[in-house]
Amino acid sequence: MDYSEKEFIQLLNQNQKIVHKVCNLYLNWQEDKEDLFQEITLQAWKAYSQFRGDAKFSTWLYRVALNTAITFFRKDKKNAFIATVSEIPDLAHQLDRDPIEDKTKAMYKAIADLSKIDKAIVMLYLEDYSYAEISEIIGITANNIAVKMNRIKVKLREATLKNFERI
Amino acid sequence: MELDDLKGLINQKLMEGSPKMTENNFTLLLKGQASSVISKIKKSLWFEIACCALVVPLFLGIALFSSQSSLKIYFSLFGIIFIPFTLIFFYLLRKINEFDQSVLPIKENLYQLIKMLEDFTRRYFQFNMALLPICFLVALFLGYNEKEPIAVLDNLIDKLKVTKSLYIGFIVGYSIAMIFGLIFLTKWYIRKLYGKYIDQLKLLLAELKED
């Protein structure tokens, strides 16, 4: 193993949460997630020679991971991810029902139903990236990101309410 | 129920069920095969280049050493037409390799990917279609100049009492049906391979249009 490969693996190992999160956000089935994980790893390795270090490795990895996930399509299965509300255990009959947990699940489902592009914006927003940083990764203006984010928030609020009532 | 209120919890949830990978796991992953559309196109291009590399010297060799003039014309034409296409395939491969190593913003990445796929499918279609008129015209020319009668065909024409105009009509009809059939089939095949994927990418790109 040469030095750059070792260095790359160390960096990827330290930042593996990013790849896991992207895989979990975009795909539902374990097998597909593993395929996407490998695809992101290989894509990052192929592009690593172009990584100059002028951006943080984590930001660069987000860009690689999101580009790969967005253009990654599976033929046989739907891209619907995570458990749908109907698959979430019916908590109504449980006495120790946790409203915060229910709200999180409802919000999680709402994020799952967003488009691939909106998911990418939400993911970066959850990581506390500024609109300017998100705009660099997505490739549209910061103003546009702010507009999109406001719309996404409204969409999520409504969808979460609906999902919460169904739990 | 705002996104900001649940940020931390959603972040936690996004990590649920993810196995902790070790450096050894990553080393193994790097030895795996990519399954992206780009890697499939690369394989496809290498296959086309390998075919061209095999066919060009073979056909030019036949053209050079054959004693029959019809074979000389046929194989030299085909041998020559494969040469520019080999260069085009190499050019596309170089572009794809460059793209594969770059990390662009998502919008630009989608735009470049669509452009590359459309370029590839266009060239692939042109490559297949370029052979059609050559096949057709060369076959017509060689058939017309063939001095030796084909006994089986002549007997069949005599038996069926086919008139000259009917015969020409059949040839023209057959040629038109064949050409349109092949154009349709090639378009359908390319669309089946990449069409749906390009459409999906275009939808994603449309979402990123500035408001």
On chain B, the residues whose CB falls within 8 A of the CB of A45 are 30
Out of A73-82, A101-110, A146-155, B23-32, pick the least confident.
Answer: A73-82
The whole-number average pLDDT for the span A142-152 is 95
Quickly state the pLDDT bin for A81 (edges 50, 70, 90): very low
pLDDT at res. A103: 87
Residues of chain A with CATH 1.10.1740.10: 1-81
For residues A59-87, give the mean pLDDT.
72
The answer to whether A24 contacts chain B (CB < 8 Å) is: yes
Half-sphere exposure of A47 (CA within 13 A, CB side): 25
* Cβ contact, residue pair B18, A5, below 8 Å: no
Q: Give the per-residue pLDDT at A79.
A: 46
pLDDT confidence of residue B147? 64
User: B13 at the A interface (CB within 8 A)?
Assistant: yes
For chain A, residues classed under CATH 1.10.10 are 89-167
CB-CB under 8 Å, B100 with A122: no
Per-residue pLDDT of chain B in tens (211 residues, 90 and over written 9): 688 888 888 888 888 888 888 999 999 999 888 878 888 888 888 998 999 999 999 999 999 998 877 778 888 888 898 898 899 889 989 999 999 888 999 999 999 999 999 988 998 898 888 878 777 777 777 777 766 777 787 788 788 777 878 888 888 898 889 889 989 999 998 888 888 889 999 999 999 986 5
Q: pTM of the entire structure? A: 0.81
Q: How far apart are CA A141 and CA A143, in angstroms?
A: 5
> What b/e sequence results for B24-58 when a residue is b if at least 16 CB atoms lie within 10 Å of its CB, and e otherwise?
ebbeebbeeebebbbbebbebbeebbeebeeebee
Element (H, E) at B88: helix B69-100
Q: Which residue of B has its CA nearest to A154?
A: B2
Does residue A91 surpass a pLDDT of 90? Answer: no
Are the Cβ atoms of B6 and A104 closer than 8 angstroms?
yes
**DSSP per position, A86-118:** GGS--GGG-TT--HHHHHHHHHHHHHHTS-HHH
Nearest CA in chain A to B20: A16
A residues 105..124 contacting B (CB < 8 A) = 106-108, 111, 115-118, 120, 122
**Comparing C-alpha atoms, which of B161, B171, B34, B153 is closest to residue B97?**
B34
Query: Above 60 in pLDDT, residue A94?
Result: no
> Domain segments of chain B: what residues?
36-207
Q: Which residue pairs, CB below 8 angstroms and at least 24 apart, start in B183-190?
A: B183/B129, B183/B132, B186/B125, B186/B128, B186/B129, B187/B125, B190/B121, B190/B124, B190/B125
For A9, the closest of B14, B26, B110 (CB atoms) is: B26
Please tell me if residue B197 touches chain A, with a CB cutoff of 8 Å: yes
Q: Which of residues 49-68 of A touch B (CB under 8 A)?
A: 49-51, 60, 63-64, 66-68
Name every residue whose Cβ is closer than 8 Å to that of residue B105 and which is 6 or more positions away in sequence. A63, A136, A137, A138, A139
CA angle at residue B117 from B115 to B123, to 5 degrees?
Answer: 100
**Nearest-by-Cβ selection for A104 from B10, B102, B208:** B10
Residue A38: closest CA among B158, B31, B176: B31
State whether residue A39 sits within 8 Å of chain B by CB: yes
Structure confidence at residue A76 (pLDDT)? 52
Contact B103 A50 (CB under 8 A): yes
**Nearest by Cα to B109 from A114, A43, A58:** A43
Confidence (pLDDT) at B188: 93
Of B23, B35, B210, the CB nearest to A140: B210
pLDDT of the residue at B40: 84
Residue from B2, B4, B5, B6 to probe the interface with A (highest A Cβ count within 10 Å) = B6
> Does any CB of chain A come closer than 8 Å to the CB of residue B206?
no
Residue A95's pLDDT band (cuts 50, 70, 90): low
Task: Please give the structure tokens belonging to residue A15.
Answer: 């930042």
Q: What is the CATH number of domain A89-167?
A: 1.10.10
Ranges A27-41, A150-164, B160-174: which has the least confidence:
B160-174
Q: Which CATH class is domain A1-81?
A: mainly alpha
Looking at the predicted structure, is the pLDDT value of residue A83 above 60?
no
Which of A25, A61, A56, A59 has the alpha carbon at shortest distance from A41?
A61
pLDDT, tens only, A11-27: 999 999 999 999 999 99
Question: Quick one: pLDDT at residue A20?
Answer: 95
Name the residue facing A71 among B103, B201, B210 (closest C-beta).
B201
The strand ranges marked E within B107-159 are none
